[in-house]
């Protein structure tokens, strides 16, 4: 397909736009070619930070009528996190960019998080000129070797003529099979060199993911159904792959017709609504509870769906127990049998696999299973939430995290999107937040758990879903990582609500020292900061809350406000709490 071109007559007569795709011209500059290729793949947003080596690219962004919104960030890490969250809520490729040297190194955390979490984001880092390689120029770093182990696809483009082909290859790699991240290095002189117009074409199918999904073999589907129906206590455990594939409706149909229990990893929240009668909730070492974990331990067959069965979901592989039968459905063949002996591996896109399973059950009325999950799950939830609400209603000081989660559940609209950092807030949201709808409404970076994610990622989520309420949760340790992005948020006038759980320490580590090292604390505490005052200085409407009864009124006002808001909650230290983390719960 042809890329759209700018034929505005005013620009055609303007010498400053002579390098655009204009009638009669045979080529454009490499920088212009890059912009046109992004446009051709349907890119609508780019998150990034300017630098010397990026000047030609920025000039091309200025000159071309491309319809892409560029969001200037204050840190390349934040640009990457914004692109990551944007990809999670839209299903479109998230794009971030930064300059050479420090910019290339700062953007790394988002690339590895997205790659390991199976989300398609593209990082474009400009570079020093190819002609200066080996001459010790300022900001030179071997971007090819730097990015290669962290991405699904990586290339530093050595000549301008390769730009269109390499961009097409990057988008194909990111969006097909198991999605992942990609990196393109764009040297300074390559941005100025010519690219033939006839090379500027793109296939928009690769602007979203999963693209070109592959279905299962029929014999594998039949074997999976036979295994499930032969079990006495089967359990489905879903990871993020179910939501990525858009398989929620097919999963609900299967779970309901067989009355089979469905548990999730932290990343799998949203494969069913938390309130669905067949939804057990989160299992594992982060966000799991003794009640949900009992389902893992008692199962005689587990069906992993879009889940790699890693350390968190299995509480460091303490369940499934030895002898438990395994069915595994995933788009990535490399996860099959990687950890557990697998009775039935099904390599397929999750939506296509679940549709095939439902079609197989439709075609043969003798395939009947009723595992009576709903009564067991209802009893489990009553027990789990009895303890939760008992703690949530207390007026103890400092404020208990359960009080915050309970008020948030009551006040937020049903379609709100929660973005959580991986620290203090993550296990509480995983265990107790009752998501009313299926789909991606809870985001947390669980692949590598980098602090500082949620403050900036929330802006990416807002650009992806501007009509939904976005709430970002973080500890005060995380707040300090990316606080500068509050300026970006206010500049964009994004009505995001930030909730900071302040306990004046790196809570996860201090709780681990409490539990694992007999309360021997070393270098985990820091001074208390008035985060509300800091946010107010950036132009964010803010509250500081020290009493439990004051949180709900502040949250209601924050949700109604038409601009960014922040609530600084003085909360119970994690080492003193009853956080749903298995190794701390005994």
User: Across all residues in the chain, what is the average pLDDT?
Assistant: 93
Q: Which CATH class is domain 218-375?
A: alpha beta
pLDDT digits (tens, 9 = 90+) for 271-289: 999 999 999 999 999 999 9
Instruction: Give the separation between CA 494 and CA 457, rounded to whole angstroms.
Output: 12
User: How confident is the model over 467-496, as a mean pLDDT?
Assistant: 97
- Report pLDDT for 514: 87
Q: Is the pLDDT of residue 5 over 80?
A: no
User: How confident is the model over 150-167, as a mean pLDDT?
Assistant: 98
32 CB neighbour count, 10 Å cutoff: 28
User: How confident is the model over 54-59, as a mean pLDDT?
Assistant: 98
- Report pLDDT for 4: 42
What percent of the chain is predicted at pLDDT more than 90? 87
Beta-ladder partners of 125: 98, 185
CATH number of 393-585: 3.40.50.970
Q: Is the pLDDT of residue 73 over 80?
A: yes
Instruction: Give the separation between CA 419 and CA 442, rounded to whole angstroms.
Output: 6
pLDDT digits (tens, 9 = 90+) for 341-366: 999 999 999 999 999 999 999 998 88
- Report pLDDT for 575: 87
CATH number of 9-207: 3.40.50.970
- Report pLDDT for 1: 36
User: Which of the residue ranges 171-180, 185-194, 362-371, 398-407 would you say has the lowest mean pLDDT?
Assistant: 362-371
Q: Assign 451 to helix, strand or coil.
A: coil
Q: Is the pLDDT of residue 586 over 80?
A: no
Residue 396: phi, psi to the nearest 5? -60, 150
**15 confidence band (pLDDT: 50, 70, 90):** very low
pLDDT digits (tens, 9 = 90+) for 205-256: 999 999 999 999 999 999 999 999 999 999 999 999 999 999 999 999 999 9
Q: Provide the H-helix boundaries in 476-566.
A: 476-482, 485-492, 507-516, 531-537, 548-560
Q: Assign 498 to helix, strand or coil.
A: strand
Which one is predicted more confidently, 559 or 21?
A: 559
Instruction: Give the separation between CA 441 and CA 439, rounded to whole angstroms.
Output: 6
User: How confident is the model over 259-272, as a mean pLDDT?
Assistant: 97
User: How confident is the model over 69-89, as a mean pLDDT?
Assistant: 98
* Crossing angle (nearest 10°) for helices 453-464 and 485-492: 20
Q: Is the pLDDT of residue 22 over 60?
A: no
**328 confidence band (pLDDT: 50, 70, 90):** very high
- Report pLDDT for 126: 97
- Report pLDDT for 147: 97
Instruction: Locate CATH 3.40.50.970 in the chain.
Output: 9-207, 393-585
Structural tokens at position 14: 């303007």
Instruction: Give the separation between CA 456 and CA 434, rounded to whole angstroms.
Output: 24
Residue 86 contacts residue 92 (beta carbons within 8 Å):
yes
Q: Is the pLDDT of residue 497 over 70?
A: yes
**12 confidence band (pLDDT: 50, 70, 90):** very low
pLDDT digits (tens, 9 = 90+) for 95-123: 999 999 999 999 999 999 999 999 999 99
**2 confidence band (pLDDT: 50, 70, 90):** very low
What percent of the chain is predicted at pLDDT more than 70? 96
Instruction: Locate CATH 3.40.50.1220 in the chain.
Output: 218-375
Q: Is the pLDDT of residue 429 over 70?
A: yes
- Strand 470-475: give its sheet, edge to edge: 442-443, 417-420, 470-475, 497-502, 565-570, 541-545
Q: Is the pLDDT of residue 8 over 70?
A: no
- Report pLDDT for 23: 54
3-state SS, 21-74, equals CCCCCCEEEHHHHHHHHHHHCCCCEEEECCCHHHHHHHHHHHHCCCCCEEEECC
């Amino acid at each position: 397909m042809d890329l759209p071109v700018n034929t505005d007559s005013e620009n055609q007569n303007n010498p400053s736009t002579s390098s655009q795709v204009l009638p009669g011209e045979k080529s454009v500059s490499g920088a212009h070619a890059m912009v046109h290729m992004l446009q051709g793949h349907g890119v609508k947003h780019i998150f990034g930070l300017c630098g010397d080596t990026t000047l030609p690219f920025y000039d091309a962004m200025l000159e071309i009528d491309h319809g892409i919104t560029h969001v200037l960030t204050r840190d390349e890490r934040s640009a990457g996190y914004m692109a990551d969250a944007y990809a999670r809520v839209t299903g479109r490729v998230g794009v971030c960019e930064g300059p050479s040297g420090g910019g290339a190194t700062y953007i790394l955390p988002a690339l590895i998080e997205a790659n390991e979490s199976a989300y398609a984001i593209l990082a474009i880092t400009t570079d020093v000129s190819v002609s200066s390689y080996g001459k010790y120029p300022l900001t030179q770093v071997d971007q090819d070797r730097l990015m290669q182990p962290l991405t699904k696809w990586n290339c530093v483009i050595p000549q301008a003529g390769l730009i269109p082909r390499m961009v097409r290859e990057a988008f194909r790699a990111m969006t097909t099979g198991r999605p992942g991240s990609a990196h393109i290095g764009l040297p300074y002189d390559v941005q100025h060199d010519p690219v033939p117009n006839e090379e500027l074409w793109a296939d928009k199918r690769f602007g979203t993911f999963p693209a070109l999904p592959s279905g299962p073999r029929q014999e594998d589907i039949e074997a999976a159904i036979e295994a499930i129906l032969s079990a006495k206590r089967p359990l489905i455990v879903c990871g993020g792959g179910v939501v990525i594939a858009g398989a929620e409706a097919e999963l609900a149909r299967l779970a309901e017709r067989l009355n089979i229990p469905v548990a999730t990893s932290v990343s799998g929240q949203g494969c069913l609504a938390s309130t669905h009668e067949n939804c057990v909730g989160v299992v594992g070492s982060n966000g799991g509870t003794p009640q949900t974990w009992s389902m893992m331990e008692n199962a005689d067959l587990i069906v992993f769906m879009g889940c790699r069965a890693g350390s968190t979901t299995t509480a460091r592989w303490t369940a499934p127990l030895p002898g438990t039968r395994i069915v595994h459905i995933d788009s990535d063949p490399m996860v099959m049998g990687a950890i557990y002996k697998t009775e039935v591996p099904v390599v397929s896109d999750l939506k296509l696999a679940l549709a095939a399973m439902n079609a197989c059950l439709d075609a043969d009325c003798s395939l009947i299973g009723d595992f009576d999950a709903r009564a067991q799950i209802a009893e489990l939830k009553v027990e789990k939430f009895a303890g939760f609400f008992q703690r949530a209603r207390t007026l103890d000081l400092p404020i208990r995290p359960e009080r915050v989660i309970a008020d948030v559940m009551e006040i937020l609209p049903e379609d709100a999107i929660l973005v959580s950092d991986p620290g203090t807030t993550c296990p509480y949201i995983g265990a107790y937040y009752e998501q009313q709808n299926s789909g991606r409404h809870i985001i947390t970076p669980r692949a590598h758990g980098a602090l500082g994610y949620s403050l900036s990622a929330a802006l990416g989520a807002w650009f992806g879903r501007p009509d939904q309420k976005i709430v970002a949760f973080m500890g005060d340790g995380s707040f300090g990582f990316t606080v500068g992005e509050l300026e970006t948020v206010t500049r964009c006038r994004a009505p995001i609500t930030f909730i900071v759980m302040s306990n004046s320490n790196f809570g996860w580590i201090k709780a681990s020292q409490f539990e694992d090292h007999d309360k021997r604390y070393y270098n985990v505490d820091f001074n208390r900061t008035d985060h509300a005052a800091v946010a107010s200085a950036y132009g964010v409407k803010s509250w500081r809350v020290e009493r439990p009864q004051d949180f709900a009124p502040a949250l209601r006002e924050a949700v109604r406000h038409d601009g960014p808001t922040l609530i600084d909650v003085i909360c119970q230290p994690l080492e003193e709490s009853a956080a749903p983390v298995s190794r701390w719960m005994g």
